[in-house]
Structure 1
Amino acid sequence: MTSRFSFDLQATDGKARKGVISTPRGDIRTPAFMPVGTAATVKAMMPESVRATGADILLGNTYHLMLRPTAERIDRLGGLHKFMNWDRPILTDSGGFQVMSLAGLRKLTEKGVTFKSHIDGSRHELTPERSMEIQRLLGSDIVMCFDECPALPATDAEVSKSMQMSMRWAARSKDAFGDRPGHALFGIQQGGVTKDLRAESAALLRDIEFDGYAVGGLAVGEGQEAMFGVLDYAPDMLPEHKPRYLMGVGKPDDIVGAVARGIDMMDCVLPSRSGRTGQVFTRHGVVNIKNARHADDPRPLDENCTCPACSNYSRAYLHHVFRSNEMISGMLLTWHNLHYFQDLMQGMRDAIEIGAFDKFVTDFHEGRAQGDIEPL
């Protein structure tokens, strides 16, 4: 076990990268997909089940946890890892995105953001310093800078003003983070879909120096084409020998496209949220388990999948428990989706190692284009 945080870039194939992030709580194989445990739980999953899907790291949410049960309470109870029974690495986001998307009556100043809780209307203040304090109390292994994420579309002038403030907040985050061996602080590149602003942001972040770098401000409604347009250049602006994290992505084809453009880490609520709503990801695209065509189908979701849902249950059963609003439906479908996402990451890691990433991408798209198996 290492006592410090480090990143070892082991292989590249085109821009795609395979590596290992080492932390005192264990290694994270990259490209990595991080399941989201918003409120100290990946919904419908036990932590040991999440680990069994192949996840090396989880994401926790600063905004939700600071409001309930509070970071101070989690600290008193031994920290987030102990609290949620997950002994491997945890990344916490800074809370900035949720303040933008969830909080009511927020007021933004140079100091930070004051806002009303979406739970009970209570007033709170989040600053770079407070965000660092909350993430320290939680005990997360990878801490994100506090930033402002502007809602797109916005003018270049608005994006530039927001980016400049985020960079000043990044410097304050670094000062407040202090010296914490074994814990990492990531900076977040902003700049919307404007190349010059992305370059300016990256240069300012490199000057401050971080343990890793995120590409922020994407996957907020700009569409895949615009996102890939930014990813064609944005990761290249960040230091080569530090991890690169694309926040809030995404769908399987978003993930494959991001890895092809040099991204090492991603997170998204999609596999768990989709599992609870009956949407299932397979090698042959998306299956909607609520459709009547599955009611008499004794076959598994995917005969090549080794997850419990596919190994032990038929489509007919999964259709039945979903239609009956049984809890086991969300549990099994979430497990399958998380298994599929981790399987996808392992496939990419293997392909990059042997220099066969292009073939992997071709096979991935061809498999999805086939569509689901024919109804019986």
Structure 2
Amino acid sequence: MKFAVKAWSNGKARTGFLQLGNCPAAIDTPALLLSTRKGLPHFISPDLLPSLPSPDSHLLQFSPLHFLEGPSSKTISNIGGLQHLLGLHEYGFAAVARDSVQSLPECDATNKFGASFETTCGRRLIRPVEYIEMISSMKPDIWASLADEVPSWVSDKRNKTSVDRTVKWLDECIALNSTGGAVFGAIVGGNDLEERQRCAVEVVKRNVSGYWIGGFGFGESMDERPSLLDAVTDVLPEEMPRMICGLGLPGIVFQSFGVEVV
């Protein structure tokens, strides 16, 4: 993976390009990742994907948890990874454990050893070692570390715990990773500016290729989002790529970054 910033605006907004090994052309950023179920975008068949006009369509986001019911990790690995399984050899894949249609995360503070997710197989506890096994078999170009995301109304103590766990799981994912691919360190912190900034400071210390900003879309107000995002982006290196989930429609993205939509 190669990433470069081409221009800045007002000291915060950036334009750049992202080059992945499987993509025939560089992807201009900011870009919208196509959300998928089991690696394919909703209601778009593989033969229609090349007809999409934007080069952004060559970068697909998927959740490894969608494959808990289906081909085993060993089978996918033997095939050669997700690109070979789906026949999408010229597409880049970004793995994020979060389900794009899941409304709220599990808030159980007792899940100390892994993240709890609602899956087609029921609620599952996914430990870093299991998550890395899935990542190793699917061979995505980019993958985000496990995150303990919490909704906006949890206690300060629970929110602090989510940050501690997310940083701990990042360390475990990095230590277990032997597959390559660009690891994006997960950043959480709920509605607390100090916790979001603390998480960002800790993740920046780690050897990662980029940053995945999580914990949005779980009950925070539109007025709160710009300051929460600023608390994170003010800490992150300007030359590194960033992903974010949970902001929704394009107009909401602009408003979240404090951009007036005319």
Partners of 2:224 and 2:201 lie apart in 1 by 22
- Judged with a 3 Å threshold, the aligned counterparts in structure 2 of structure 1 residues 251 and 100 are, in CA distance, closer, same or farther, namely closer
Question: For residue 96 of structure 2, what is the aligned residue in structure 1?
Answer: 93
* Alpha-carbon contact 2:149-2:190 (below 8 Å) kept: no
- Judged with a 3 Å threshold, the aligned counterparts in structure 2 of structure 1 residues 73 and 101 are, in CA distance, closer, same or farther, namely farther
Question: For residue 287 of structure 1, what is the aligned residue in structure 2?
Answer: none
Partners of 2:167 and 2:13 lie apart in 1 by 27
The answer as to 2:176 corresponding to 1:173 is: no
Partners of 1:188 and 1:23 lie apart in 2 by 20
- Name structure 2 gaps, 5 residues minimum: none
- Judged with a 3 Å threshold, the aligned counterparts in structure 2 of structure 1 residues 102 and 224 are, in CA distance, closer, same or farther, namely closer
In the TM superposition, residue 107 of structure 1 has moved relative to its aligned partner by 8.4
Q: How does 1:89-128 map to 2 (within 5 A)?
A: 89-95=92-98, 101=104, 108-113=110-115, 118-121=119-122, 124-128=124-128
In the TM superposition, residue 235 of structure 1 has moved relative to its aligned partner by 1.3
Question: For residue 9 of structure 2, what is the aligned residue in structure 1?
Answer: 13
- Name structure 1 gaps, 5 residues minimum: 262-360, 367-376
Question: For residue 235 of structure 1, what is the aligned residue in structure 2?
Answer: 233
* Alpha-carbon contact 1:132-1:143 (below 8 Å) kept: no
Q: Name the TM-score, length of structure 2 as normaliser.
A: 0.85
| CA offsets 1:275-320 (integer angstroms, 9 cap, x no match) | xxxxxxxxxxxxxxxxxxxxxxxxxxxxxxxxxxxxxxxxxxxxxx
- Judged with a 3 Å threshold, the aligned counterparts in structure 2 of structure 1 residues 200 and 58 are, in CA distance, closer, same or farther, namely same
Question: For residue 219 of structure 2, what is the aligned residue in structure 1?
Answer: 221
Amino acid at match of 1:9: V
In the TM superposition, residue 212 of structure 1 has moved relative to its aligned partner by 0.3
Question: For residue 71 of structure 1, what is the aligned residue in structure 2?
Answer: 73
- Judged with a 3 Å threshold, the aligned counterparts in structure 2 of structure 1 residues 64 and 248 are, in CA distance, closer, same or farther, namely same
Considering only CA atoms, is the larger Rg found in Structure 1 or Structure 2?
Answer: 1
The answer as to 2:48 corresponding to 1:46 is: no
* Alpha-carbon contact 1:29-1:56 (below 8 Å) kept: no
- Of structures 1 and 2, the one with the larger relative CO (CA 8 A, separation 6+) is 1
In the TM superposition, residue 232 of structure 1 has moved relative to its aligned partner by 3.0
* Alpha-carbon contact 1:107-1:114 (below 8 Å) kept: no
Partners of 1:8 and 1:84 lie apart in 2 by 29
The answer as to 2:252 corresponding to 1:249 is: no
Partners of 1:226 and 1:48 lie apart in 2 by 41
* Alpha-carbon contact 1:74-1:83 (below 8 Å) kept: yes
- Judged with a 3 Å threshold, the aligned counterparts in structure 2 of structure 1 residues 120 and 200 are, in CA distance, closer, same or farther, namely closer
* Alpha-carbon contact 1:92-1:140 (below 8 Å) kept: yes
* Alpha-carbon contact 2:109-2:158 (below 8 Å) kept: no
Identical-residue share of aligned pairs (%): 21
Of stretches 50-59 and 29-38 in structure 1, the one that deviates more from structure 2 is 50-59
The answer as to 2:203 corresponding to 1:200 is: no
* Alpha-carbon contact 2:59-2:91 (below 8 Å) kept: yes
Higher helix share: 1
Question: For residue 149 of structure 1, what is the aligned residue in structure 2?
Answer: 149
* Alpha-carbon contact 2:35-2:100 (below 8 Å) kept: no
* Alpha-carbon contact 1:96-1:147 (below 8 Å) kept: no
- Judged with a 3 Å threshold, the aligned counterparts in structure 2 of structure 1 residues 147 and 48 are, in CA distance, closer, same or farther, namely same
Q: Cα RMSD over matched residues?
A: 2.8
Question: For residue 136 of structure 1, what is the aligned residue in structure 2?
Answer: 136
In the TM superposition, residue 132 of structure 1 has moved relative to its aligned partner by 1.5
The answer as to 2:183 corresponding to 1:185 is: yes
Amino acid at match of 1:10: K
Amino acid at match of 1:165: R
In the TM superposition, residue 173 of structure 1 has moved relative to its aligned partner by 0.9
| CA offsets 1:140-167 (integer angstroms, 9 cap, x no match) | 1101101111122112221011111111
Q: Name the TM-score, length of structure 1 as normaliser.
A: 0.61
In the TM superposition, residue 75 of structure 1 has moved relative to its aligned partner by 2.5
